[in-house]
Chain A
Amino acid sequence: MKPREQYMESLRQLKNEIMKMGILVEEALSKAMKALTELDSDLAESVITEDMMINRMEIEIEDRSIALIATEQPVAGDLRHVITGMRIVTQLERMGDHAVHIAKSTLRFECKAFKKPLIDISKMAELCISMHREVLSAFMDEDEIRARNLVDLDDEVDSLHEKVQRDMFTGMVEDESFLSQALQLTYISRYLERFADHITNISEWIIYGKTGNHVDLNG
């Protein structure tokens, strides 16, 4: 038997739990976006209730990490990975909150149809989801290069966000009845942009976990 087999197993389990939480967050965002495009208030409600699970997982993973630190005293790479895991679940929890915010915004739509189809916002959401998948697999493989490459996608999301803001502003000026809708869509765009920022934060932690060096990808 290898030395510290149990410990290694605990580290692996911790990682799996984080992956599970990541997948839940992805589902939350997909559902929230579906609820938005289809203006399905029931689905939006379910996103909000299911966020409880994500929040509970954050606390659970944190507790397990703390227990692992207290009992096994991880050092070097192991320590960095445990700490990184704790940081990542914090990010994931906030990302879950953004999905909830999108769902809440959906519930606030009073009209039954959009003034025009949600092209840019859908594109943003797609980008966010593929970034999220990428960051999770980079985390799983401890691949800091893929984590680093996510910056480009984040830049795309950022520029889309700016475009949406501009569009909404001009839309609001042209048509006053669009005001409430435009405001909510601006918020949603903002939530997606924040979602992507959290993904780059996760990337930063993946890089730290692998190399021990802090980098700033949002700068």
Chain B
Amino acid sequence: MGIAKNDIVLEIKNLNFYYGELQALININLEIKRNTITSIIGPSGCGKSTMLRCINRMNELIDDTRTEGEIFYDGRNIFDSDVDPVKLRRKIGMVFQQPNPFPKNIFDNVAYGPKMYGTRNRQKLREIVEISLKKAALWDEVKDRLLDKSLSLSGGQQQRLCIARTLAVEPDIILMDEPASSLDPIATMRIEQLLREVTDDYTIIIVTNNMQQASRISEYTAFINAKERRSGFLVEYGRTQDLFIKPQMKQTEDYISGRFG
């Protein structure tokens, strides 16, 4: 796809994933470029969220699952037995579909990760909280009420708080599972704007059901389709512009033009 080798931050090779008997992912191969936004689109149930959760090994928390294949990150296969998933998740953060701030105050939500990593210094925590909230474009709205409950915020603010919480632990890659699906258009646009602004420092992989969102924010797009019940396979992967102007595959064309079924 014309991506220089050293620009690749994550390399997914022959990834297969099973929920018990059901094969949810079939032989996925993807190369994710550093400091870009990559969208993963596909019909619901095609396994795009499952693929995302393979990358930070969150799937392992689900009983009766099996992963085959390799994902190379930082020169290592993340499935190697000596890779600690906890350590991996400190580098590959995740933002979820529903905003899920802890029922703690705003400050403690953002400071949660650093505290868990052992930062005790109050001054240092305050700096981290401020920087993270600024990056997440939430600082101006909450700077005077950092000790308010996180649940007093609006849905969009809560999601930005969750993004700030993830940014606070300085990840390398951020996985986002439909982060704006429960938000109104204005809140969605703010999140999208914020994602564009943080790509200098982070690589973002975003699963979205909103194709316009994928085409608006991402440089690269992967289309995953499902065959036979719910087995996802990669149909097409490339620059977002190419995919939305002249997709190579008929399936992609049909899906993005809304002609499925």
**Is residue B9 within 8 Å, beta carbon to beta carbon, of the partner chain?**
no
A-B contact pairs, 8 of them (CB 8 A): A3-B258, A3-B259, A4-B257, A8-B259, A75-B211, A76-B245, A76-B246, A212-B246
**Is residue B2 within 8 Å, beta carbon to beta carbon, of the partner chain?**
no
**Which residues on B sit within 8 Å (CB–CB) of A212?**
245-246
**Nearest neighbor of A211 in chain B, beta-carbon distance:** B246
Q: Are B246 and A80 neighbours in the complex by a CB distance under 8 Å? A: yes
User: Number of residues in A with C-beta < 8 Å to the partner?
Assistant: 16
Residues of A48-82 contacting chain B, CB below 8 A: 73-80
Q: Are A76 and B258 neighbours in the complex by a CB distance under 8 Å? A: no
**Which residues on B sit within 8 Å (CB–CB) of A211?**
246
**Separation of A126 and B238 alpha carbons in the complex (Å):** 46
**Which residues on A sit within 8 Å (CB–CB) of B211?**
75
Contact-residue size bin, chain B (C-beta under 8 Å from the other chain): 10 to 19
Partner of A2, one of B215, B253, B261: B261
- Most chain-B Cβ atoms within 10 A of its Cβ — which of A8, A73, A77, A212? A77
Q: Are A74 and B245 neighbours in the complex by a CB distance under 8 Å? A: no
Besides A4-B258, A76-B256, A79-B244, 15 other A-B contacts (C-beta < 8 A): A3-B260, A4-B257, A73-B212, A75-B211, A75-B215, A75-B244, A75-B245, A77-B253, A77-B257, A78-B257, A79-B245, A80-B245, A80-B246, A212-B245, A212-B246
Q: How far is the CB of B49 from chain A (nearest CB, A)?
A: 23
**Is residue B252 within 8 Å, beta carbon to beta carbon, of the partner chain?**
yes
Partner of A76, one of B212, B244, B260, B261: B244
**Is residue B155 within 8 Å, beta carbon to beta carbon, of the partner chain?**
no
Q: How far is the CB of B69 from chain A (nearest CB, A)?
A: 30
**Is residue A7 within 8 Å, beta carbon to beta carbon, of the partner chain?**
yes
Q: Are A76 and B259 neighbours in the complex by a CB distance under 8 Å? A: no
**Is residue B247 within 8 Å, beta carbon to beta carbon, of the partner chain?**
yes
**Which residues on B sit within 8 Å (CB–CB) of A80?**
245-246
A interface with B by C-beta (< 8 Å): 2-4, 7-8, 73-80, 211-213
**Separation of A80 and B245 alpha carbons in the complex (Å):** 7
**Nearest neighbor of A208 in chain B, beta-carbon distance:** B246
- Most chain-B Cβ atoms within 10 A of its Cβ — which of A3, A75, A78, A79? A75
Per-residue 0/1 for B235-248: is the Cβ within 8 Å of any A Cβ (1 yes, 0 no)? Answer: 00000000111110
**Nearest neighbor of A73 in chain B, beta-carbon distance:** B212
**Which residues on B sit within 8 Å (CB–CB) of A77?**
246, 253, 257
**Which residues on B sit within 8 Å (CB–CB) of A79?**
244-245
Q: How far is the CB of A212 from chain B (nearest CB, A)?
A: 3
Nearest first, the 5 closest Cβ-Cβ pairs linking A and B are A212-B246, A4-B258, A75-B244, A76-B253, A75-B256
Q: Are B259 and A4 neighbours in the complex by a CB distance under 8 Å? A: yes
**Which residues on A sit within 8 Å (CB–CB) of B260?**
3
**Which residues on B sit within 8 Å (CB–CB) of A76?**
243-247, 252-253, 256-257
**Which residues on B sit within 8 Å (CB–CB) of A213?**
246
Q: Are B246 and A3 neighbours in the complex by a CB distance under 8 Å? A: no
Q: Are A75 and B246 neighbours in the complex by a CB distance under 8 Å? A: no
**Separation of A77 and B255 alpha carbons in the complex (Å):** 12
Residues of B189-213 contacting chain A, CB below 8 A: 211-212
**Separation of A212 and B256 alpha carbons in the complex (Å):** 16
**Nearest neighbor of B256 in chain A, beta-carbon distance:** A75
**Which residues on A sit within 8 Å (CB–CB) of B256?**
75-76
Q: How far is the CB of B237 from chain A (nearest CB, A)?
A: 15
